[in-house]
Structure 1
Amino acid sequence: MIFVIVAVVAYATDQVTKALALEHLDGRPDVQVIGEVLQLHLTRNPGAAFSAGTGLTPYITAFAIAATLAVLWYARRLGSTGWGFGFGFLLAGITGNLTDRLLRDPEPFHGHVIDFLMLPNWPIFNIADICINIAAGLIIIQSFRGIRLDGSREKDDERDAAADGPELRSAVDLRGAEGADDVVGPEDGAR
């Protein structure tokens, strides 16, 4: 449920802020929000992050569709709050920019992503980009903590294996000891 709520709220926030940026920033000078630190500057990005691959928009769009399907496929296995937040932000970020690529000018699959947040010495970005970065951070944290998508922990498996180890060895030893009388060896056959 967290996955769905985070994805829907973050996606809606991205789309609303892009619509507001188009309405209020198009053809206007930059707006200083926090002096030179954060400004609003409308731009249309045909490429990927850092404006890379500007001539590859259809391929980036196809990759984003595949990534969306992968997130939805793996989301069925979510059993952890942390992974729910991570995948929710990831889906919102991917689909936020994918929507632009599919629906905005100049044409479907070639649409330019609306970016409007500007920091000094950093490429202009949007809410979807922020969501993707938050998702990356949460996914890294979950991985380092050893928490799987389903909520189980890698350490729990190691602890269970260590706990099962002596019991399994004892059971094998007992079976071997019990069956020792039943085994006929060469010396038994000579009697």
Structure 2
Amino acid sequence: MLLTVGIGIGVAVLDQVSKWWAVNTLSMSERVPILGDLLGLQLVYNPGAAFSLGTDATWIFTIISAVAVGVAIWFTLRVRTRSWAVVIGCLGGAAASHLGDRLLRPPSFAQGHIVDFIAYGDWFIGNIADIFIVGGVVAVLLLSTTEHNRDTAEAQQ
């Protein structure tokens, strides 16, 4: 449990510190290229979800973030392996950081906009928490598959 909580806190702090840096360093009107047009830095405030979907439903994403944090806490109390502890910590920390943005950032309580600043070509702009969410989901799929295959092999013996 301590590993999961520690990783979660680390992910949330890393995400919030990187957002603080972005807000205090980057301009909304300027894109700073890192790898040409493929990767850059550009500050935006996203009221919606991934790809700026649902920009008029910020309060729904606040609820979804709160539920995700609750689910992460529930799993934290039940995790039995180090690999699952790491994954749950990553997902929980990212969800907690997004929930913090939704609750505390302008324009108002529970209507806050997410700070995004990592520009992936012309596809979308994200943040550190988004990287941990995507990586965490991939890890959940891999762990679920490998555990299912292992359990099936053990049952056949």
* Stretch deviating more after TM superposition (60-69 or 20-29): 20-29
Distance 1:119 1:58 in 2: 26
Q: Secondary structure at the match of 2:12?
A: helix
Distance 2:36 2:3 in 1: 36
- Asked which structure has the greater CA Rg, the reply is 1
Distance 1:39 1:14 in 2: 17
Match of 1:108 in 2: 109
CA apart distance, 1:154: 2.5
Q: Which digits, 9 at most, give the CA deviation of each residue in 1:40-79, with x for residues without a partner?
A: 0000000011111111111110121111111101211111
Q: Secondary structure at the match of 1:146?
A: helix
Q: Which digits, 9 at most, give the CA deviation of each residue in 1:128-176, with x for residues without a partner?
A: 11110011011001100126xxxxx6347625xx6xxxxxxxxxxxxxx
TM-score of the aligned structures, taking structure 1 as reference length:
0.76
Match of 1:89 in 2: 90
Match of 1:122 in 2: 123
Equivalent AA in structure 2 for residue 72 of structure 1? I
User: Which of structures 1 and 2 has the larger relative contact order (alpha carbons within 8 angstroms, sep 6+)?
Assistant: 2
Match of 2:155 in 1: 158
Coordinate RMSD, CA, aligned: 1.7
In the alignment, structure 1 segments of 5+ residues that lack a partner are 148-152, 163-191
Distance 2:68 2:34 in 1: 33
Runs of 4+ in structure 1 over 6 Å off: none
Q: Does 1:143 align with 2:147?
A: no
Distance 1:61 1:21 in 2: 22
Equivalent AA in structure 2 for residue 102 of structure 1? L
TM-score of the aligned structures, taking structure 2 as reference length:
0.91
Distance 1:113 1:70 in 2: 21
Q: Secondary structure at the match of 1:89?
A: helix
Distance 2:100 2:124 in 1: 20
Percent sequence identity over aligned pairs: 32
Distance 1:58 1:121 in 2: 27
Higher strand share: 2
* Stretch deviating more after TM superposition (28-37 or 4-13): 28-37
